[in-house]
Chain A
Amino acid sequence: MKFFQSIGAKTLAKLSTAGRAALMLFGALVAVPKFKNVSLTIRQVYVVGVQSLLIIIVSGLFIGMVMALQGYTILVDYGAEGSLGPMVALSLLRELGPVVTALLFAGRAGSALTAEIGLMKATEQLSSMEMMAVDPLRRVVAPRFWAGMISMPMLALIFSAVGILGGHMVGVDWLGVDAGSYWSIMQSTVEWDKDVLNGVIKSLVFALVVTWIAIFKGYDSIPTSEGISKATTETVVFSSLAVLGLDFVLTALMFGIE
Protein backbone atom coordinates (compact mmCIF):
# COMPACT_ATOMS: atom_id res chain seq x y z
CA MET A 1 0.00 0.00 0.00
CA LYS A 2 2.72 2.34 1.07
CA PHE A 3 4.62 1.47 -2.12
CA PHE A 4 1.79 2.40 -4.48
CA GLN A 5 1.09 5.53 -2.50
CA SER A 6 4.69 6.68 -2.86
CA ILE A 7 4.60 6.04 -6.61
CA GLY A 8 1.40 8.01 -6.86
CA ALA A 9 2.75 10.88 -4.81
CA LYS A 10 5.93 11.07 -6.92
CA THR A 11 3.96 11.01 -10.18
CA LEU A 12 1.65 13.75 -8.97
CA ALA A 13 4.58 15.86 -7.83
CA LYS A 14 6.32 15.47 -11.20
CA LEU A 15 3.11 16.27 -13.07
CA SER A 16 2.43 19.37 -11.04
CA THR A 17 6.02 20.52 -11.58
CA ALA A 18 5.57 20.08 -15.33
CA GLY A 19 2.26 21.92 -15.09
CA ARG A 20 3.80 24.82 -13.18
CA ALA A 21 6.65 25.00 -15.69
CA ALA A 22 4.18 25.13 -18.58
CA LEU A 23 2.07 27.77 -16.84
CA MET A 24 5.14 29.90 -16.18
CA LEU A 25 6.27 29.61 -19.80
CA PHE A 26 2.78 30.47 -20.99
CA GLY A 27 2.67 33.50 -18.70
CA ALA A 28 6.05 34.61 -20.03
CA LEU A 29 5.08 34.03 -23.66
CA VAL A 30 1.85 35.98 -23.35
CA ALA A 31 3.91 38.93 -22.19
CA VAL A 32 5.58 39.48 -25.57
CA PRO A 33 3.57 42.39 -26.95
CA LYS A 34 4.34 44.70 -24.02
CA PHE A 35 6.44 47.37 -25.65
CA LYS A 36 8.14 48.70 -22.54
CA ASN A 37 9.60 45.26 -21.93
CA VAL A 38 11.81 45.69 -24.98
CA SER A 39 14.41 47.73 -23.12
CA LEU A 40 14.36 45.16 -20.30
CA THR A 41 14.95 42.45 -22.88
CA ILE A 42 17.87 44.35 -24.40
CA ARG A 43 19.35 44.68 -20.94
CA GLN A 44 19.02 40.89 -20.54
CA VAL A 45 20.52 40.24 -23.99
CA TYR A 46 23.53 42.12 -22.67
CA VAL A 47 23.69 40.05 -19.50
CA VAL A 48 22.96 36.70 -21.14
CA GLY A 49 24.41 37.13 -24.62
CA VAL A 50 27.14 39.73 -24.67
CA GLN A 51 28.72 38.55 -21.45
CA SER A 52 28.85 34.98 -22.84
CA LEU A 53 30.54 36.21 -26.00
CA LEU A 54 34.11 35.85 -24.77
CA ILE A 55 33.80 32.23 -23.63
CA ILE A 56 31.97 31.37 -26.86
CA ILE A 57 34.59 32.96 -29.11
CA VAL A 58 37.53 31.44 -27.25
CA SER A 59 36.03 27.93 -27.15
CA GLY A 60 34.91 28.17 -30.78
CA LEU A 61 38.40 29.14 -31.85
CA PHE A 62 40.07 26.32 -29.96
CA ILE A 63 37.54 23.68 -31.00
CA GLY A 64 37.97 24.67 -34.65
CA MET A 65 41.74 24.57 -34.27
CA VAL A 66 41.81 21.18 -32.57
CA MET A 67 39.43 19.69 -35.14
CA ALA A 68 41.63 20.87 -37.97
CA LEU A 69 44.67 19.39 -36.24
CA GLN A 70 43.03 16.03 -35.57
CA GLY A 71 41.33 15.87 -38.94
CA TYR A 72 44.53 16.69 -40.77
CA THR A 73 46.53 13.85 -39.20
CA ILE A 74 43.92 11.34 -40.37
CA LEU A 75 43.02 12.86 -43.73
CA VAL A 76 46.63 13.34 -44.84
CA ASP A 77 47.11 9.55 -44.83
CA TYR A 78 44.58 9.30 -47.64
CA GLY A 79 45.78 12.40 -49.43
CA ALA A 80 42.40 13.90 -48.72
CA GLU A 81 43.49 16.90 -46.67
CA GLY A 82 41.48 19.06 -49.06
CA SER A 83 38.40 17.71 -47.32
CA LEU A 84 39.51 19.37 -44.09
CA GLY A 85 37.34 22.42 -44.80
CA PRO A 86 34.04 20.59 -45.18
CA MET A 87 34.87 18.34 -42.24
CA VAL A 88 35.44 21.28 -39.91
CA ALA A 89 32.53 23.30 -41.30
CA LEU A 90 29.96 20.53 -41.30
CA SER A 91 30.75 19.24 -37.83
CA LEU A 92 30.67 22.78 -36.46
CA LEU A 93 27.49 23.87 -38.21
CA ARG A 94 25.53 20.69 -37.67
CA GLU A 95 26.65 19.54 -34.24
CA LEU A 96 29.33 21.28 -32.27
CA GLY A 97 28.15 24.84 -32.84
CA PRO A 98 24.65 24.42 -31.43
CA VAL A 99 25.52 21.77 -28.82
CA VAL A 100 28.68 23.24 -27.30
CA THR A 101 27.11 26.69 -27.32
CA ALA A 102 24.10 25.33 -25.47
CA LEU A 103 26.29 23.56 -22.92
CA LEU A 104 28.43 26.63 -22.34
CA PHE A 105 25.33 28.78 -22.23
CA ALA A 106 23.78 26.52 -19.59
CA GLY A 107 26.91 26.81 -17.49
CA ARG A 108 27.61 30.47 -18.06
CA ALA A 109 24.16 32.08 -18.34
CA GLY A 110 21.65 29.44 -17.24
CA SER A 111 23.12 29.01 -13.78
CA ALA A 112 23.27 32.78 -13.33
CA LEU A 113 19.61 33.11 -14.34
CA THR A 114 18.57 30.46 -11.83
CA ALA A 115 20.59 31.98 -9.02
CA GLU A 116 19.32 35.49 -9.79
CA ILE A 117 15.65 34.57 -9.90
CA GLY A 118 16.02 32.22 -6.95
CA LEU A 119 17.60 34.97 -4.89
CA MET A 120 14.87 37.37 -5.96
CA LYS A 121 12.40 34.85 -4.63
CA ALA A 122 14.35 34.28 -1.41
CA THR A 123 14.59 38.00 -0.69
CA GLU A 124 10.88 38.29 -1.47
CA GLN A 125 11.39 40.69 -4.35
CA LEU A 126 9.00 38.66 -6.48
CA SER A 127 6.21 38.79 -3.89
CA SER A 128 6.72 42.49 -3.33
CA MET A 129 6.38 43.00 -7.09
CA GLU A 130 3.07 41.19 -6.89
CA MET A 131 2.08 43.47 -4.00
CA MET A 132 2.72 46.45 -6.27
CA ALA A 133 0.56 44.83 -8.97
CA VAL A 134 3.59 44.20 -11.17
CA ASP A 135 3.45 40.76 -12.72
CA PRO A 136 6.85 39.15 -12.05
CA LEU A 137 6.29 36.83 -15.01
CA ARG A 138 6.19 39.84 -17.29
CA ARG A 139 8.73 41.95 -15.53
CA VAL A 140 11.35 39.32 -14.63
CA VAL A 141 10.72 36.06 -16.46
CA ALA A 142 9.65 37.16 -19.94
CA PRO A 143 12.64 39.45 -20.72
CA ARG A 144 15.09 36.77 -19.60
CA PHE A 145 13.34 34.10 -21.62
CA TRP A 146 13.31 36.15 -24.81
CA ALA A 147 16.89 37.26 -24.26
CA GLY A 148 17.90 33.60 -24.13
CA MET A 149 15.93 32.78 -27.26
CA ILE A 150 17.55 35.68 -29.11
CA SER A 151 21.09 35.22 -27.86
CA MET A 152 21.62 31.48 -28.27
CA PRO A 153 21.28 31.22 -32.08
CA MET A 154 23.46 34.31 -32.44
CA LEU A 155 26.09 32.81 -30.17
CA ALA A 156 25.95 29.50 -32.04
CA LEU A 157 26.47 31.25 -35.39
CA ILE A 158 29.42 33.20 -34.02
CA PHE A 159 30.80 29.96 -32.54
CA SER A 160 30.66 28.18 -35.90
CA ALA A 161 32.13 31.09 -37.83
CA VAL A 162 35.00 31.54 -35.37
CA GLY A 163 35.61 27.78 -35.36
CA ILE A 164 35.87 27.69 -39.15
CA LEU A 165 38.35 30.55 -39.01
CA GLY A 166 40.28 28.70 -36.31
CA GLY A 167 40.35 25.62 -38.52
CA HIS A 168 41.67 27.81 -41.31
CA MET A 169 44.40 29.13 -39.03
CA VAL A 170 45.67 25.66 -38.14
CA GLY A 171 44.87 23.84 -41.37
CA VAL A 172 45.96 26.41 -43.92
CA ASP A 173 48.38 28.74 -42.17
CA TRP A 174 50.17 26.16 -40.07
CA LEU A 175 49.81 22.72 -41.69
CA GLY A 176 49.81 23.97 -45.26
CA VAL A 177 46.48 22.78 -46.66
CA ASP A 178 45.74 24.72 -49.83
CA ALA A 179 43.59 27.73 -48.95
CA GLY A 180 41.66 27.49 -52.20
CA SER A 181 40.60 23.90 -51.64
CA TYR A 182 39.80 24.59 -47.97
CA TRP A 183 37.18 27.16 -48.97
CA SER A 184 35.98 25.83 -52.31
CA ILE A 185 35.36 22.21 -51.27
CA MET A 186 33.68 23.58 -48.16
CA GLN A 187 31.53 25.76 -50.33
CA SER A 188 30.48 22.96 -52.62
CA THR A 189 29.65 20.67 -49.69
CA VAL A 190 27.88 22.92 -47.19
CA GLU A 191 24.33 23.83 -48.07
CA TRP A 192 22.74 26.95 -46.68
CA ASP A 193 19.27 25.60 -45.96
CA LYS A 194 20.25 22.08 -45.02
CA ASP A 195 23.27 22.69 -42.84
CA VAL A 196 23.26 26.30 -41.67
CA LEU A 197 19.54 26.74 -41.13
CA ASN A 198 19.13 23.34 -39.47
CA GLY A 199 21.89 24.35 -37.08
CA VAL A 200 20.00 27.54 -36.27
CA ILE A 201 16.79 25.55 -35.71
CA LYS A 202 18.70 23.25 -33.39
CA SER A 203 20.05 26.11 -31.35
CA LEU A 204 16.57 27.68 -31.13
CA VAL A 205 15.27 24.43 -29.63
CA PHE A 206 18.22 24.30 -27.24
CA ALA A 207 17.65 27.94 -26.31
CA LEU A 208 14.03 27.17 -25.46
CA VAL A 209 14.98 24.18 -23.32
CA VAL A 210 17.95 25.73 -21.52
CA THR A 211 16.36 29.08 -20.68
CA TRP A 212 13.10 27.44 -19.75
CA ILE A 213 14.80 25.05 -17.35
CA ALA A 214 17.01 27.82 -15.94
CA ILE A 215 14.18 30.25 -15.33
CA PHE A 216 11.79 27.66 -13.99
CA LYS A 217 14.35 26.20 -11.61
CA GLY A 218 14.93 29.66 -10.20
CA TYR A 219 11.26 30.56 -10.10
CA ASP A 220 10.34 27.26 -8.46
CA SER A 221 13.32 27.01 -6.10
CA ILE A 222 12.96 26.60 -2.36
CA PRO A 223 13.79 30.12 -1.12
CA THR A 224 16.70 29.18 1.11
CA SER A 225 20.40 29.31 0.41
CA GLU A 226 20.45 25.53 0.20
CA GLY A 227 17.45 25.47 -2.14
CA ILE A 228 19.06 27.99 -4.50
CA SER A 229 22.32 26.09 -4.65
CA LYS A 230 20.40 22.91 -5.43
CA ALA A 231 18.35 24.67 -8.10
CA THR A 232 21.49 26.06 -9.74
CA THR A 233 23.12 22.65 -9.86
CA GLU A 234 19.97 21.09 -11.26
CA THR A 235 19.77 23.73 -13.96
CA VAL A 236 23.21 22.89 -15.30
CA VAL A 237 22.75 19.12 -14.99
CA PHE A 238 19.23 18.94 -16.41
CA SER A 239 19.75 21.35 -19.27
CA SER A 240 23.02 19.69 -20.32
CA LEU A 241 21.34 16.28 -20.36
CA ALA A 242 18.30 17.67 -22.17
CA VAL A 243 20.51 19.31 -24.79
CA LEU A 244 22.49 16.15 -25.47
CA GLY A 245 19.40 13.97 -25.62
CA LEU A 246 17.45 16.38 -27.81
CA ASP A 247 20.46 16.74 -30.08
CA PHE A 248 20.27 13.07 -30.96
CA VAL A 249 16.56 13.31 -31.71
CA LEU A 250 16.98 16.45 -33.80
CA THR A 251 19.94 15.02 -35.71
CA ALA A 252 17.96 11.87 -36.47
CA LEU A 253 15.06 13.97 -37.72
CA MET A 254 17.17 16.40 -39.76
CA PHE A 255 20.03 14.36 -41.16
CA GLY A 256 19.19 10.76 -40.29
CA ILE A 257 17.01 9.59 -43.12
CA GLU A 258 17.61 10.94 -46.57
Chain B
Amino acid sequence: MNKYKTELMVGVFVVLTIGAILLLALKVANQTMATEGDTYTLYAKFDNIGGLKERSAVKVGGVTVGRVTSISLDKEDYTPVVELSIYQQYADFPETSSVSILTSGLLGEQYVGFQPGFSFDGVANLEDGDYLQDTKSALVLEDLIGQFLFNRGSDE
Protein backbone atom coordinates (compact mmCIF):
# COMPACT_ATOMS: atom_id res chain seq x y z
CA MET B 1 0.00 0.00 0.00
CA ASN B 2 2.81 2.36 0.91
CA LYS B 3 4.66 1.61 -2.31
CA TYR B 4 1.46 2.09 -4.28
CA LYS B 5 0.97 5.52 -2.73
CA THR B 6 4.54 6.54 -3.50
CA GLU B 7 4.23 5.53 -7.11
CA LEU B 8 0.86 7.24 -7.38
CA MET B 9 2.24 10.53 -6.10
CA VAL B 10 5.29 10.32 -8.37
CA GLY B 11 2.87 9.70 -11.23
CA VAL B 12 0.92 12.82 -10.30
CA PHE B 13 4.22 14.73 -10.18
CA VAL B 14 5.13 13.54 -13.68
CA VAL B 15 1.69 14.44 -15.04
CA LEU B 16 1.95 17.92 -13.50
CA THR B 17 5.33 18.37 -15.18
CA ILE B 18 3.97 17.29 -18.52
CA GLY B 19 1.12 19.74 -18.03
CA ALA B 20 3.63 22.50 -17.32
CA ILE B 21 5.65 21.59 -20.41
CA LEU B 22 2.51 21.59 -22.55
CA LEU B 23 1.48 24.98 -21.21
CA LEU B 24 4.94 26.39 -21.87
CA ALA B 25 5.15 24.82 -25.31
CA LEU B 26 1.68 25.63 -26.59
CA LYS B 27 0.69 28.84 -24.86
CA VAL B 28 3.91 30.56 -23.79
CA ALA B 29 6.60 29.86 -26.37
CA ASN B 30 6.17 30.45 -30.06
CA GLN B 31 6.05 27.25 -32.01
CA THR B 32 9.34 26.55 -33.68
CA MET B 33 7.53 24.04 -35.89
CA ALA B 34 6.04 26.84 -37.94
CA THR B 35 9.43 28.43 -38.55
CA GLU B 36 11.08 25.14 -39.42
CA GLY B 37 8.74 24.50 -42.32
CA ASP B 38 9.80 24.70 -45.93
CA THR B 39 11.07 28.10 -46.87
CA TYR B 40 12.57 29.77 -49.88
CA THR B 41 15.16 32.51 -49.80
CA LEU B 42 14.97 36.03 -51.17
CA TYR B 43 17.57 38.76 -50.94
CA ALA B 44 17.11 42.48 -50.61
CA LYS B 45 19.67 45.28 -50.60
CA PHE B 46 18.97 48.31 -48.48
CA ASP B 47 20.84 51.58 -48.04
CA ASN B 48 20.28 51.46 -44.31
CA ILE B 49 18.71 48.69 -42.26
CA GLY B 50 18.37 50.71 -39.04
CA GLY B 51 17.77 48.37 -36.11
CA LEU B 52 16.78 45.28 -38.09
CA LYS B 53 18.04 42.06 -36.54
CA GLU B 54 18.26 38.43 -37.48
CA ARG B 55 14.98 36.60 -36.77
CA SER B 56 12.99 39.82 -37.31
CA ALA B 57 9.65 39.13 -38.93
CA VAL B 58 8.75 39.63 -42.58
CA LYS B 59 5.14 40.76 -42.78
CA VAL B 60 2.58 41.25 -45.49
CA GLY B 61 -0.18 43.48 -44.18
CA GLY B 62 0.65 42.44 -40.63
CA VAL B 63 0.74 38.70 -41.32
CA THR B 64 4.12 37.09 -40.70
CA VAL B 65 5.20 35.31 -43.87
CA GLY B 66 8.85 34.73 -43.04
CA ARG B 67 11.90 35.78 -41.09
CA VAL B 68 15.19 37.54 -41.61
CA THR B 69 17.83 34.81 -41.54
CA SER B 70 21.03 36.75 -42.01
CA ILE B 71 22.31 40.27 -42.53
CA SER B 72 25.63 40.90 -44.23
CA LEU B 73 27.46 43.65 -46.07
CA ASP B 74 27.95 43.43 -49.81
CA LYS B 75 31.69 43.37 -50.42
CA GLU B 76 31.54 45.43 -53.62
CA ASP B 77 29.26 48.37 -52.95
CA TYR B 78 29.18 48.21 -49.13
CA THR B 79 25.40 48.07 -48.79
CA PRO B 80 23.63 45.76 -46.35
CA VAL B 81 22.19 42.59 -47.87
CA VAL B 82 19.29 41.04 -45.96
CA GLU B 83 18.46 37.39 -46.49
CA LEU B 84 14.75 36.65 -46.08
CA SER B 85 13.33 33.17 -45.59
CA ILE B 86 9.73 33.13 -46.78
CA TYR B 87 7.47 30.19 -45.94
CA GLN B 88 6.76 27.99 -48.90
CA GLN B 89 3.01 28.34 -48.39
CA TYR B 90 3.38 32.00 -49.34
CA ALA B 91 5.08 31.41 -52.66
CA ASP B 92 4.15 33.14 -55.93
CA PHE B 93 4.83 36.77 -55.09
CA PRO B 94 5.26 38.76 -58.31
CA GLU B 95 8.62 40.22 -59.23
CA THR B 96 7.31 43.77 -58.83
CA SER B 97 6.97 43.34 -55.06
CA SER B 98 8.74 45.81 -52.82
CA VAL B 99 10.13 45.60 -49.30
CA SER B 100 10.61 48.32 -46.74
CA ILE B 101 11.88 48.35 -43.18
CA LEU B 102 9.13 49.44 -40.81
CA THR B 103 8.79 49.92 -37.08
CA SER B 104 5.94 48.47 -35.06
CA GLY B 105 4.68 51.31 -32.94
CA LEU B 106 6.71 54.38 -32.08
CA LEU B 107 9.45 52.59 -30.18
CA GLY B 108 8.78 49.00 -31.18
CA GLU B 109 11.01 46.55 -32.92
CA GLN B 110 11.74 46.80 -36.63
CA TYR B 111 10.47 44.35 -39.19
CA VAL B 112 10.48 43.94 -42.93
CA GLY B 113 7.26 45.06 -44.56
CA PHE B 114 6.64 43.14 -47.75
CA GLN B 115 4.39 44.81 -50.32
CA PRO B 116 3.25 42.37 -53.01
CA GLY B 117 3.30 43.99 -56.41
CA PHE B 118 0.74 43.73 -59.21
CA SER B 119 0.99 40.68 -61.35
CA PHE B 120 0.14 41.00 -64.99
CA ASP B 121 1.35 39.29 -68.13
CA GLY B 122 5.08 39.27 -68.54
CA VAL B 123 5.84 39.58 -64.84
CA ALA B 124 7.43 36.46 -63.43
CA ASN B 125 7.06 35.28 -59.86
CA LEU B 126 9.89 35.55 -57.34
CA GLU B 127 12.01 32.41 -57.25
CA ASP B 128 14.36 31.05 -54.63
CA GLY B 129 17.52 33.17 -54.53
CA ASP B 130 16.07 36.22 -56.31
CA TYR B 131 16.99 39.77 -55.37
CA LEU B 132 14.16 42.17 -54.64
CA GLN B 133 14.79 45.33 -56.66
CA ASP B 134 12.43 47.80 -55.01
CA THR B 135 13.55 48.46 -51.44
CA LYS B 136 12.96 51.30 -49.01
CA SER B 137 15.40 51.83 -46.18
CA ALA B 138 14.63 52.22 -42.53
CA LEU B 139 13.63 55.61 -41.23
CA VAL B 140 16.41 56.76 -38.96
CA LEU B 141 15.04 59.16 -36.38
CA GLU B 142 18.27 61.16 -36.17
CA ASP B 143 18.25 61.76 -39.94
CA LEU B 144 14.63 62.92 -39.78
CA ILE B 145 15.35 65.34 -36.97
CA GLY B 146 18.41 66.59 -38.81
CA GLN B 147 16.39 67.17 -41.95
CA PHE B 148 13.66 68.94 -39.99
CA LEU B 149 16.14 71.27 -38.33
CA PHE B 150 17.84 71.93 -41.67
CA ASN B 151 14.55 72.87 -43.27
CA ARG B 152 13.64 75.15 -40.38
CA GLY B 153 17.02 76.82 -40.71
CA SER B 154 16.70 77.46 -44.42
CA ASP B 155 13.18 78.92 -44.04
CA GLU B 156 14.32 81.75 -41.87
Contacts and interface: CB of A to CB of B under 8 A. Distances in A.
B14 interface: yes
B2 to A, nearest CB: 10
Interface stretch (B3-11, B73-81, B120-128): B3-11
Contacts of B28: 89, 93, 161, 164, 186-187, 190, 196
Interface stretch (A38-46, A123-131, A212-220, A223-231): A38-46
A90 to B, nearest CB: 10
B7 A93 contact: no
Contacts of A191: 29-30, 32
Main secondary structure on B side of the interface with A = helix
Nearest to B5: A46
Interface string A183-198: 1001111111101100
Interface in A80-124: 89, 93
A39 B3 CA distance: 9
Interface size of B as a range: 20 to 34
A195 B13 contact: no
Contacts, number: 74
B10 A192 contact: no
B60 interface: no
B110 to A, nearest CB: 14
Main secondary structure on A side of the interface with B = helix
A165 B27 CA distance: 11
Contacts of A23: none
A157 B24 contact: yes
A46 B6 contact: yes
A190 B10 contact: no
Contacts of A183: 27
A93 B24 CA distance: 9
A192 B23 contact: no
A250 interface: no
A49 B12 CA distance: 11
A177 B6 CA distance: 41
B4 to A, nearest CB: 12
Nearest to A164: B28
- Most central of B3, B13, B32 by chain A CB within 10 Å: B13
Given A39-B3, A164-B24, A189-B30, 9 more contacts: A49-B10, A50-B9, A50-B10, A89-B28, A157-B20, A157-B21, A158-B17, A195-B29, A196-B25
9 contacts: A46-B9, A50-B9, A53-B16, A151-B13, A158-B17, A160-B20, A187-B30, A189-B30, A192-B29
Closest 7 CB pairs between A and B? A161-B20, A192-B29, A154-B17, A157-B20, A46-B6, A50-B9, A190-B29
Interface of A: 39, 42-43, 45-46, 49-50, 53, 89, 93, 151, 154, 157-158, 160-162, 164-165, 183, 186-193, 195-196
